[in-house]
Amino acid sequence: MLRAPDATPLRRGSSAWLAASGAIALLVLVPLGAVAATALRESAGLWQHLVTYVVPVAARETLILLAGVGALVTVIGAGTAWLVAAHAFPGRRVLEWALLLPLAVPTYIIAYAYLDILHPVGPVQTALRSLLGFDSPRDFRLPDIRSMPGAIVLLGFVLYPYVYLPARAMFVMQSASVLEAARTLGIRRRALFFRVALPLARPAVAVGLTLALLEALNDIGASEFLGVRTMTVSIYTTWATRSDVAGAVQIALAMLAIVLALVLLERRARRQQRYAADAQHPRPLEPTPLGGLAGMGALAVCLAPVAVGFLAPFIYLVDAALDRIRFAGVSEAIVREALNTVTVSLIATALTIAGGVVVAYSARLSRRRLAQSFARAASLGYAVPGTVLALGVLPVATALDAPLDRVASLVVDGSVGLLILGSGAALVYAYVVRFLALAIGGVESGLSRVSASLDDAARTLAAGPGARLWRLHLPLVRPAVAAAAMLVFVDCMKELPATLLLRPLGFETLATHLYGEAVRGTYEDAALAALLIVAVGLLPVILLARLGRVERQRDHVPITGLETL
């Protein structure tokens, strides 16, 4: 990670940016505050119960899950990134972007898909039995996937791109000279990765790992389905089964405190280290050719995560969807659902990115702690489970709806009802709060590569902060902004718990449709919806991959939007 160039001191005009950034941070904090306030309510005398029977189990399960997923995504993400960044082998150019494909697969979909694929009566075990000569699954079957190991493997194989993306960017960016210098010092090629490349890439890996772990921590669909009782699942059951919102929020806040402590700890540990190479003009790494068996090995290693995290579930979904279409046809509703999904995700993405630009740019303009604090506060939504966030947005939206309705009733006859909740604005609001961290991080990382001297030059031309952003920074960080936008879009599409609670009456998205079928155990009925979620998510992921390549051709560093949080 580059050290941010010295931010320019606070100048005239930047206070408006600071105020805007503060307002955005406030928009994030209000629903979180509303949730926190419910924690103070009576928890039906259950706190003792939660502490004794729920939290210890949930904490242990969560830690095991995170440790497992963390190890897996780091090994897969950093390993494949190093292979494609520093080596030349058959298929590398395709794998470079194909390794991103699992990003398009929501965790709950991979869980449903693999239960079917690997079930004793599913295709894999049936074939295996006939191969080995067993008649009945009672004589031979593989371990059940509805278990902690199953959850770790499945989450690991769809979340590793969060590490792969920034790690690859970092490896590509590491100037060849550092590695060559290491080599002249007698470090062998294999040791090069562990002793030089990986330590240098640590900030990128750490950031990607943080995102992957937050996804795993806040995941509800896959964990619940696979029978893993994480903190998030416990929050959910405490709320849903016992109608105990206060108790649920108490667990959520405890969890948030732990998350923030871990993130801060990691940042502090990294602060001791300096990572400033001559990275403004790196000489690109000359890939080491891998021929013969080594090349085939590299191909196999990189192909495996794509196959497990994307190809197998995708092929399964296509097959299941075709089956379904043959059996029940295509409903008109699904087209509307797809349009709803795309529309609401696009609007949320546009607003999220706009907010991210304002917050990140304001943090660059002002050196004051306040601007940095705003940026961190505005990023908090990503650390909170979607369910909890939705419970916060709900009262905020309806509190705004009351005065809005009163104002509107002066103009039109009668009540206009719930404008914010009813129009989907509440849903968009929840998405923005939840994913703003991705936008802020992406734009910040892009801006950090723009030299401060450019700002100074522009200022001597009497360009104000707005003009500088529009004419200087935005064109320069466009790839970073675009990358962040695509990530946000994919995440909005996949989002489930907040969508379920906050969508307007009669408004169905692909994810809510799928969930409606899944809760009655008929997720195969929704195979087409699942396939569409993955397919629509694919487009931005492929664009994201192309973006990385175009950047690289320009001899720039690929900017991914994931390098800072």
Partner 1 sequence: MLVRQPAFRHASGTLLALALVAAADLAAAQEVNLYTTREPGLIQPLIDAFSKTTGIKVNSIFIRDGLAERVAAEGTRSPADVLMTVDFGELINLVEKGLTQPVSSTVLQQAVPANLRGPNGEWYALSLRARVLYADKNLDLSSFTYEQLADPKWKGKICIRAGQHPYNTALIAAHIAHYGEARTETWLRGIKANLARAATGGDRDVARDIMGGICDIGIANSYYVGLMRSGAGGPEQVKWGDAIKVILPTFQGGGTHVNISGASVARHAPNRAAAVRFLEYLVSPEAQKIYAEANFEYPVRAGAAVHPIIAAFGPLKVDSLSLTEIAKHRVAASRLVDKVGFDR
- Site map for partner 1, 140-169, x if CB under 8 A? -x--x-xx----------------------
Which one of residues 84, 179, 226, 375 is an interface residue with partner 1 (CB under 8 A)?
A: 226
Restricting to residues 412-441, name those near partner 1 by CB under 8 A: 415, 417-418, 421-422
Restricting to residues 471-500, name those near partner 1 by CB under 8 A: 500
> Which part of the chain contacts partner 1 (CB under 8 A), choosing from 67-75, 117-125, 444-452, 475-483?
117-125
Separation of alpha carbons 565 and 561, rounded Å: 9
Q: Is 136 in the site for partner 1 (CB under 8 A)?
A: yes
CB of 252 to partner 1, least distance (A): 14
Which one of residues 180, 266, 319, 517 is an interface residue with partner 1 (CB under 8 A)?
A: 517
Please write down the HEC assignment for all residues of 348-406: HHHHHHHHHHHHHHHHHHCCCHHHHHHHHHHCHHHHCCHHHHHHHHHHHHHHHHHHHHH
Restricting to residues 328-357, name those near partner 1 by CB under 8 A: 328
Pick the closer one to partner 1 by CB: 168 or 324: 324
Which one of residues 108, 225, 316, 429 is an interface residue with partner 1 (CB under 8 A)?
A: 225
CB 434 within 8 A of CB 344: no
Q: Is 556 in the site for partner 1 (CB under 8 A)?
A: no
Kind and range of the H or E run holding 98: helix 92-98
> Which part of the chain contacts partner 1 (CB under 8 A), choosing from 1-9, 74-82, 116-124, 272-280?
116-124
Q: Comparing C-alpha atoms, which of 251, 537, 286, 186 is closest to residue 387?
A: 251
CB of 285 to partner 1, least distance (A): 46
Both structure tokens of 493: 């599409």
> Which part of the chain contacts partner 1 (CB under 8 A), choosing from 73-81, 296-304, 367-375, 508-516?
508-516
Pick the closer one to partner 1 by CB: 292 or 329: 329
Which one of residues 94, 258, 501, 542 is an interface residue with partner 1 (CB under 8 A)?
A: 501
CB 282 within 8 A of CB 180: no
> Which part of the chain contacts partner 1 (CB under 8 A), choosing from 139-147, 252-260, 334-342, 441-449?
139-147
> Which part of the chain contacts partner 1 (CB under 8 A), choosing from 187-195, 375-383, 517-525, 550-558?
517-525
Q: Is 324 in the site for partner 1 (CB under 8 A)?
A: yes
Q: Buried (b) or exposed (e) across 451-489, using 16+ Cβ within 10 A?
A: eeeebeebeeeebebeebbeebbbebbebbbbbbbbbbb
Angle subtended by helix axes 148-159 and 107-118, to nearest 10: 130
CB 76 within 8 A of CB 164: yes
CB of 4 to partner 1, least distance (A): 41
Restricting to residues 372-401, name those near partner 1 by CB under 8 A: 390-391, 394-395, 397-398, 401
The CA dihedral of 292, 293, 299, 301, to the nearest 10 degrees, is -160
CB of 250 to partner 1, least distance (A): 15
The residue with tokens 């959850």 is: 151
The residue with tokens 């690997």 is: 118
CB of 220 to partner 1, least distance (A): 11
Q: Is 323 in the site for partner 1 (CB under 8 A)?
A: yes
CA distances from 202 to 174, 265, 376, 458 (A): 12, 14, 21, 34
Pick the closer one to partner 1 by CB: 235 or 371: 235
CB 487 within 8 A of CB 562: yes
Which one of residues 18, 46, 209, 246 is an interface residue with partner 1 (CB under 8 A)?
A: 46
- Residues in contact with partner 1, counted by CB under 8 A, come to a total of 71
Instruction: Render 163-196 in DSSP notation, one character per residue.
Output: HHHHHHHHHHHS-HHHHHHHHHTT--HHHHIIII
Bridge partner list, 289: 88
Both structure tokens of 238: 């405490």
Separation of alpha carbons 93 and 90, rounded Å: 8
Q: Is 316 in the site for partner 1 (CB under 8 A)?
A: no
> Which part of the chain contacts partner 1 (CB under 8 A), choosing from 16-24, 74-82, 484-492, 520-528?
520-528
Which one of residues 64, 512, 542, 556 is an interface residue with partner 1 (CB under 8 A)?
A: 512
Q: Is 408 in the site for partner 1 (CB under 8 A)?
A: no
Q: Is 108 in the site for partner 1 (CB under 8 A)?
A: no
Q: Is 82 in the site for partner 1 (CB under 8 A)?
A: no
Pick the closer one to partner 1 by CB: 185 or 505: 505
CB of 533 to partner 1, least distance (A): 17
Restricting to residues 165-194, name those near partner 1 by CB under 8 A: none
Q: What are phi and psi of 550, to 5 degrees?
A: -60, -45
CB of 338 to partner 1, least distance (A): 17
CB 484 within 8 A of CB 443: yes
Which one of residues 219, 224, 495, 563 is an interface residue with partner 1 (CB under 8 A)?
A: 224
Q: Is 525 in the site for partner 1 (CB under 8 A)?
A: yes
- Site map for partner 1, 231-270, x if CB under 8 A? -----xx-xxxxx-x-------------------------
Kind and range of the H or E run holding 437: helix 425-447
Q: What are phi and psi of 289, to 5 degrees?
A: -70, 135
Angle subtended by helix axes 425-447 and 474-494, to nearest 10: 140
CB of 412 to partner 1, least distance (A): 14
Pick the closer one to partner 1 by CB: 424 or 465: 424
Separation of alpha carbons 454 and 448, rounded Å: 12
